[in-house]
Structure formats: C-alpha cells, structure tokens
C-alpha cells in the first residue's frame, strides 16, 4: 500500500475511501489515535487515485463523498480501523535512499552546528567558486531549526512525488542542476554567505509545475494552491517583506532551472518508465 495523504477528519476520510471504491479502486484507512487518518492505496491504483486525492483535498466536503458512502453502504461515523499506523519512523523508512540521505545529511550538519562545529564545518561547505564541490554543498547547510524543517518538509514531499512518478534519475538530475544554478545565482548577485535546500526545493516546484502542464493526463505533482503559495513567498522575499533574510536569487535560480529541466526532459524524452525501478 502507498500513502496518499492524511487528514484529521475521520468521517471525511471514510467518504473519500468510499468514493474511490465506487470508482473501482481499492484503498484503506490507517490510524493509531482515531483522529489523524492516513489514506493508503494499492500501488497499482496509485496513479488513478492521486488526482482524485488532489480534488478531495481542495473540497473534502463535496456531496459526492457522502453520496458514495451511501452507495457502498458505509455510513457509520465511528470508523473501524485496522489498528495499523504509519508512524514517523515507518514513514521515513518508506522513503527512498536518496530522499533519506539528503534529509539525514541536512539534519546531521545542523546538529553538528549546534554542538559547536559551525565555524569549522561551514568553512568547508561554504560556496567557493574555486572549489567545484562547494557549488553543491550549501544545499545541506541550514542556519535555524525553522529553516531546516521548512526545507526538509518540502524536499520530502515534492521529491517523493517526483521520484515515484518519474524515477530516481530525474530526482538526482534535478538536485544537481538546481543546486548548481541556484547557488551560482546567489553567489553572483549577493555573495558566498548563504545556505539551505530551498533553491533545490524551488527547483522541484518548477519542475513539478511544468511537468503538470506538459503531461495533463499524468497525476499532478503539485496543486495550484501550493504553486501560488510558493510564488507569493518568492515575491515577498524579493520585496523584503519577510521577517527573515532570504536567499532570493537562489530561489529564483532554482525555480527557473527546475522549469527548464522539465522542458528539456520532455524535449529529449529523458524520462523513461524503467527509471522507476532503479
């Protein structure tokens, strides 16, 4: 079973499950506390169920879900769970080695900073135009817990979706390309004192946005609401209306390079179904 998402409304979650059952798909609910419900779908039905989930997230109270419950005979409000849950550790284990590695390295570097190693470690990882490896390493540097958590959440979410739909090779390529362009963009316009995974995150967003436009029959990797939010965040950063300093040119460089990567991949057909099995 593959996780589609979670919701803190058991009744609405049951309506969604009943709705996809009415569409000939199989899913189930998992919860450990009776409040936060995880919606899971069989792997063979994932691509069909994903766009239905996106519609549900936008409007979980649509009458179609309650109607579906009546059709399949599941109208009870207290849900019967299987006593299973995807706990944090299990959910992390479900990620690919690539997603896990980037996450753990970012967390490890930040913990090392807290333990007093900032000057020594940052001196090695800081962008240096004469050291090619440092063209990538600023992506794993974070200066606050909020900075780290925000970027990791988006990395896991967007990266996991891209990897499932287009393969590990796409995610690896995106990481390398968007890190290079975002870091060089920030260095050339501002200087070497920056860090964070957000340039890559904006690259994943740009890729997901264009991939969705070029492949309308495929499950969307990102919703319009998320695209709008991230673009507004980018604009507010350039307008200096946020309470924290932002690597705005890294964000813009990542976004544009991610979009270009999607166009290029489509043009040269670099995304192959076999990539998913790598």
Q: Tokens representing 242?
A: 């946020």
Catalytic (active site) residue 169: no
* Cα–Cα distance measured from residue 207 to residue 159, given in angstroms and rounded to the nearest whole number: 10
Parallel, antiparallel or unpaired: strands 27-30 and 37-41: antiparallel
* Cα–Cα distance measured from residue 156 to residue 3, given in angstroms and rounded to the nearest whole number: 13
Catalytic (active site) residue 147: no
With 0-12 CB in 10 A as exposed, 13-18 as middle and 19+ as buried, what is 119?
A: exposed
* Cα–Cα distance measured from residue 276 to residue 171, given in angstroms and rounded to the nearest whole number: 11
Give me the catalytic one of 50, 69, 251, 257: 251
* Cα–Cα distance measured from residue 17 to residue 6, given in angstroms and rounded to the nearest whole number: 12
Asked if 102 and 153 count as a contact pair (C-beta separation under 8 A), the reply is: no
Give me the catalytic one of 182, 198, 208, 257: 198
Strands (E), 96-174: none
Bridge partners for 41 per DSSP = 2, 27
Please identify every residue annotated as catalytic. 198, 251
């Amino acid at each position: 079973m593959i996780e589609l998402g979670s919701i803190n409304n058991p009744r609405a979650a049951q309506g969604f499950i009943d709705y996809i059952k009415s569409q000939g798909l199989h899913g189930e609910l998992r919860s450990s506390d009776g409040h936060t419900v995880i919606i899971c779908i069989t792997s063979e039905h994932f691509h069909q169920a994903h766009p239905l989930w996106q519609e549900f997230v936008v409007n979980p109270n649509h009458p179609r879900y309650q109607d579906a419950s009546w059709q399949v005979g599941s109208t009870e409000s207290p849900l019967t769970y299987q006593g299973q849950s995807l706990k944090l550790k299990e959910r992390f284990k479900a990620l690919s080695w690539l997603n896990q590695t980037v996450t753990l390295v970012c967390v490890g570097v930040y913990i090392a900073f807290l333990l007093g190693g900032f000057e020594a470690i940052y001196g090695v990882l800081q962008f240096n135009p004469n050291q090619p490896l440092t063209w990538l390493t600023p992506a794993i540097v974070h200066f606050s817990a909020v900075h780290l958590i925000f970027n990791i959440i988006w990395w896991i979410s967007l990266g996991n979706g891209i990897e499932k739909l287009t393969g590990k090779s796409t995610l690896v390529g995106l990481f390398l390309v968007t890190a290079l362009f975002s870091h060089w963009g920030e260095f050339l316009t501002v200087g070497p004192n920056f860090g964070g995974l957000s340039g890559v995150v904006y690259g994943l967003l740009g890729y997901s946005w264009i991939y969705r436009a070029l492949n309308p029959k495929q499950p969307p990797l990102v919703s319009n609401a998320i695209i709008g939010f991230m673009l507004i965040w980018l604009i507010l950063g350039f307008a200096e209306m946020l309470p924290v300093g932002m690597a705005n040119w890294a964000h813009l460089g990542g976004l544009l390079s991610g979009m270009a990567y999607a166009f290029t991949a489509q043009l040269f057909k670099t995304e192959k179904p076999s990539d998913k099995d790598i």
